[in-house]
A and B are shown apart, each in its own frame.
Chain A
Amino acid sequence: MIELHDVRKVFPARRRAGEVVAVDGVSLHVEAGEFAGVVGPSGSGKSTLVRLVNLLERPTSGSVTVDGQVLTELPDDRVREARRSIGMVFQHFELLDSRTAAGNVEHPLELAGVGRAERRRRATELLDLVGLGERAEARPAQLSGGQKQRVAIARALAARPKVLLCDEATSALDQASTTSVLELLRRVRSELGLTVLLITHEMAVVKAVCDSAVMLDRGRVVDRGRLSEVLTREHSPLADALLPAPVADAGAGHGGALLRVTVTDRAPETVVLQTLVGELGLAVEVAGGSVETVAGGRYGRLLLRVTGGGGELDAAVGRLRDDGVLVERVPVHGGVAAGAGVDR
Chain B
Amino acid sequence: MSDWDRVWPQLLEATGETLYMVGVAALVTVLLGVPLGVLLTVTAPGGLAPRPLLNRALGLGVNLGRALPFIILLVLVAPVTRGIVGTTIGSTAAIVPLTIGAIPFLARLVETSLREVAAGKVEAAMAMGARRRDVVRTVLLPEARPSLVAGVTVTVVALVSYSAMAGAVGGGGLGDFAIRFGYQQFRTDITLLTVVALLVLVQALQWAGDRWARRLAHV
In Å, the complex CA distance between A94 and B118 comes to 8
Q: Which of B120, B127, B145 has the most CB of A within 10 A?
A: B127
Which residues from A are CB-within-8-Å of B143?
96-98
In Å, the complex CA distance between A81 and B127 comes to 10
Check A96–B120 contact: CB distance below 8 A.
no
- When C-beta atoms are compared, the residue in chain B nearest to A82 turns out to be B129
How near does chain A come to B7, taking the closest CB pair, in angstroms? 48
Which residues from B are CB-within-8-Å of A90?
120, 123-124
Instruction: Assess whether A80 is interfacial by the CB under 8 Å rule.
Output: yes
The 8 A CB mask of A124-160 against B (1 = contact, 0 = none) is: 0000000000000001110000000000000100010
Instruction: Assess whether A108 is interfacial by the CB under 8 Å rule.
Output: yes
How near does chain B come to A47, taking the closest CB pair, in angstroms? 11
Pick from A82, A83, A96: contact of B139, CB below 8 A: A96
In Å, the complex CA distance between A239 and B131 comes to 42
Instruction: Assess whether A92 is interfacial by the CB under 8 Å rule.
Output: yes
**A97-B128 contact in complex given A111-B134, A111-B138, C-beta closer than 8 Å:** no
Q: Which of B126, B129, B130, B139 has the most CB of A within 10 A?
A: B129
Interface positions, chain B 121-161, Cβ under 8 Å from A, are 121, 123-131, 134, 138-139, 142-143, 145
Question: Interface size class for chain B?
Answer: 20 to 34
Interface positions, chain A 84-137, Cβ under 8 Å from B, are 84, 86, 88, 90, 92, 94, 96-99, 107-108, 110-112
In Å, the complex CA distance between A120 and B97 comes to 47
Check B129–A56 contact: CB distance below 8 A.
no
Check B218–A97 contact: CB distance below 8 A.
yes
How near does chain B come to A80, taking the closest CB pair, in angstroms? 4
Which residues from A are CB-within-8-Å of B130?
80, 111
Which residues from B are CB-within-8-Å of A111?
125, 128-130, 134, 138
Check B128–A108 contact: CB distance below 8 A.
yes
**A99-B120 contact in complex given A56-B126, A107-B128, C-beta closer than 8 Å:** no
Which residues from A are CB-within-8-Å of B131?
80
Pick from A56, A81, A96: contact of B123, CB below 8 A: A56
Question: Interface size class for chain A?
Answer: 20 to 34
- When C-beta atoms are compared, the residue in chain A nearest to B217 turns out to be A97
Which residues from B are CB-within-8-Å of A140?
218
Q: Which of B121, B128, B138, B139 has the most CB of A within 10 A?
A: B128
Pick from A54, A81, A83, A94: contact of B120, CB below 8 A: A94
Check A88–B124 contact: CB distance below 8 A.
yes
Pick from B127, B142, B216: contact of A96, CB below 8 A: B142
- When C-beta atoms are compared, the residue in chain A nearest to B131 turns out to be A80
- When C-beta atoms are compared, the residue in chain A nearest to B128 turns out to be A108
Check A98–B120 contact: CB distance below 8 A.
no
How near does chain A come to B12, taking the closest CB pair, in angstroms? 40
- When C-beta atoms are compared, the residue in chain B nearest to A108 turns out to be B128
- When C-beta atoms are compared, the residue in chain A nearest to B118 turns out to be A94
Check A54–B127 contact: CB distance below 8 A.
yes
How near does chain A come to B215, taking the closest CB pair, in angstroms? 12
How near does chain A come to B106, taking the closest CB pair, in angstroms? 20
How near does chain A come to B121, taking the closest CB pair, in angstroms? 5
In Å, the complex CA distance between A99 and B145 comes to 12
Instruction: Assess whether B1 is interfacial by the CB under 8 Å rule.
Output: no
In Å, the complex CA distance between A108 and B131 comes to 11
Interface positions, chain B 173-215, Cβ under 8 Å from A, are none
Which residues from A are CB-within-8-Å of B72?
none
**A86-B218 contact in complex given A94-B118, A99-B142, C-beta closer than 8 Å:** no
Inter-chain pairs besides A88-B127, A98-B218, 15 sampled, C-beta below 8 Å: A56-B123, A56-B126, A84-B128, A90-B120, A90-B124, A92-B118, A94-B121, A94-B123, A94-B124, A96-B139, A97-B218, A98-B143, A98-B145, A108-B129, A111-B128
Q: Kindly list the 6 A-B residue pairs having the minimum CB-CB distance in the complex, ordered from nearest.
A: A94-B124, A98-B142, A108-B128, A83-B129, A88-B127, A139-B218
Between A and B, 8 residue pairs with Cβ closer than 8 Å are A56-B123, A81-B129, A83-B127, A88-B124, A96-B121, A98-B142, A111-B130, A159-B128
